[in-house]
Chains A and B, each alone.
Chain A
Amino acid sequence: MKNEFQVIAELIEKDKKVLDVGCGDGILMQFLKNNKNTNIRGLEISKSKVQECIAKGLTVIEGNAEKDLKQFPDKSFEYVVLSQTLQAFLNPELVINELLRVGKKAIVTIPNFGYWRVRLHLLIKGTMPITKTLPDEWYNTPNIHMCSIKDFFYFAKSRNIKIFKSLAINNQNVSIVNHSNLTIKNFFADLGIFLIEK
């Protein structure tokens, strides 16, 4: 399981009710179910990924986060997880609001557009950045609303969203992000993980 999921799983206590939005093939769900006794549900847009989840015995609903989160009642999950898909939504702000309505807390991870390799790519090559976490070309990328760790910090502040914990991942290294090291972490991390609440 990838490092990002390990970090997410560590943020979630045992025996909680969790919704994984954009759960993919259910790797994180399965880990939480087996190791944290999580009452876990998934929402996934891809039919084939939904099939993979069913084959793993996971409860998944085929659906779209922008349209289908509204069916869940307020605060019906202790945590709602959104892993690396915020940037792919037409309206990320609406999705964040929905995550925070449905979950008591939300865990959001973003590929960091402030990462030095991304900056360097654009600076030197003058073309849209392609990295390990952002492997697609500009014309076929699903990512239409890229942001940096710093952007997310400022966004949360402007919307009165409380950041409980923010973590930066670079390769295998996980570190805490705070106001004093924000500029540095925003430069060296390729992934940001935020535990938020409203």
Chain B
Amino acid sequence: MNAENNIKTFIVKKPLKLDCGKTINEFPIAYETYGSLNKNKDNAILVFHALTGDQFVTGQNPITNKDGWWSYAVGPDKAIDTKKYFVICANVMGGCMGSFGPSHEDPSTGTAFGTNFPVITINDMVNAQYNLLDHFGIDKLFSIAGGSMGGMQVLQFISNFPDKAKTVIPIACTSSHSAQNIAFNELGRQAITADSNWKGGDYSSEDTIPNKGLAVARMAAHITYLSKKGLQEKFGRKLQEREDLKFGFDADFQIESYLRYQGSVFVDRFDANSYLYITRAMDYFDLAKQYKGKLSDAFRATRAKFFIISFTSDWLYPTQENKDIVIALNSIGADVGFVEIESDKGHDSFLLDVPDFLSALKNFLDKSYTEN
């Protein structure tokens, strides 16, 4: 990556004990910020990214030259208004955009960690990112927000640090990865490890990378981010630049061509080992289990105001799983609002231009901020 000087990092000096038992020292966290921190330092929002996201939330991503993953929601005058709020986002640990991950050099071997990188969890990611508060001298965040795996980090963050955020916005997520979620992730991992270029994870010094396997993983996952109705309306049985079926295995259908494209562009920006590690972290996520099966205990210590959002057509993290979080919060009398947004765009709705979602997010934040 020749644009690496566009990546801001800081080195965490405090040792961090990981859930797997290992302790890591002096590790980098890559981050980006938008807007400016006010004098009272009470306008900061920590945004957590999803599986394949990164710290470049909005504007042009300097590495991929594409729009940031949450450009619809974050920016001047947008739902998360960067004229008003100071938005911070870090690349998750295990990722491949500058934070400590499997493509980093293992000092004991001089080559990339690969699968010698410790297996990390959502808890580890959140504990690592907590250091951002010290880094910016912020005592309490105005809000924490994120969708999908970002939402899981939101839930973990507030249970680990109950008095460090005033408002909490988990979106399209779950408190515990379901069998179906794990199954889809396993499919992706198997695709990667079945690629002969994966070489047990030790491909960093090779000329070839497991891009076939990673592309298949992305294609399979991409289907889970969309709804059946959305796919049918966008593609139906439309053919790809041809009048009729070709009786072969080229991409006859537009949907095939679309998925192949999604797979091919993904391998340019994402690391296969990171994909293995991050999906594993998601699969291990079970917040209730951390509290002896009682999810509400995860939130008992916090006075934060929660706003939970789900989408009608999201079958990956369906409304009921989001509602289970609402139920746990209500059972302890927490301040929690909930809305299910009508959308045909599936799980990806939180990343897209869904006006009802964006206005709910904006109204919740802005009203909560003026009540501060």
Contacts and interface: CB of A to CB of B under 8 A. Distances in A.
Partners in one complex: yes
Interface of A: 17, 41, 47, 50-51, 54-63, 71-73, 76
Contacts of A61: 326, 330, 336-338
A71 B334 CA distance: 12
Task: Give the interface SS of chain B, mostly helix, strand, loop or mixed.
Answer: mixed
B17 to A, nearest CB: 36
A127 to B, nearest CB: 36
Interface string B127-150: 000000000000000000000000
Interface in B316-348: 326-327, 330-333, 335-342
B339 A72 contact: no
B93 to A, nearest CB: 33
30 contacts: A41-B335, A47-B339, A47-B340, A47-B341, A51-B363, A54-B307, A54-B337, A54-B360, A54-B364, A54-B367, A55-B359, A55-B367, A56-B367, A57-B368, A58-B337, A59-B305, A59-B335, A59-B336, A60-B338, A60-B339, A61-B326, A62-B338, A63-B338, A71-B326, A72-B330, A72-B331, A73-B330, A73-B331, A73-B332, A73-B333
Given A61-B326, A71-B327, A73-B331, A51 B360 contact: yes
B244 interface: no
B88 to A, nearest CB: 24
Contacts of A54: 307, 337, 339, 360, 363-364, 367
B19 interface: no
B299 to A, nearest CB: 14
Task: Give the interface SS of chain A, mostly helix, strand, loop or mixed.
Answer: mixed
Across chains A and B, which 9 residue pairs bring their CB atoms closest together, nearest first? A57-B367, A71-B327, A55-B363, A61-B338, A59-B337, A71-B330, A54-B363, A62-B339, A50-B339
Interface of B: 305, 307, 326-327, 330-333, 335-342, 356, 359-360, 363-364, 367-368, 370-371
A71 B333 CA distance: 10
A54 B364 CA distance: 6
A82 to B, nearest CB: 17
A56 B332 CA distance: 24
A73 B330 CA distance: 8
Given A54-B367, A60-B338, A60-B339, 9 more contacts: A51-B360, A55-B359, A55-B363, A61-B326, A61-B338, A62-B338, A71-B326, A71-B331, A73-B331
A59 B368 CA distance: 10
Contacts of B370: 57
Contacts of A55: 359, 363, 367
B358 to A, nearest CB: 11
Contacts of A63: 338
A17 B333 CA distance: 10
A60 B337 contact: yes
B338, B356, B359 pick with most chain A CB within 10 angstroms? B338
Contacts of A62: 338-340
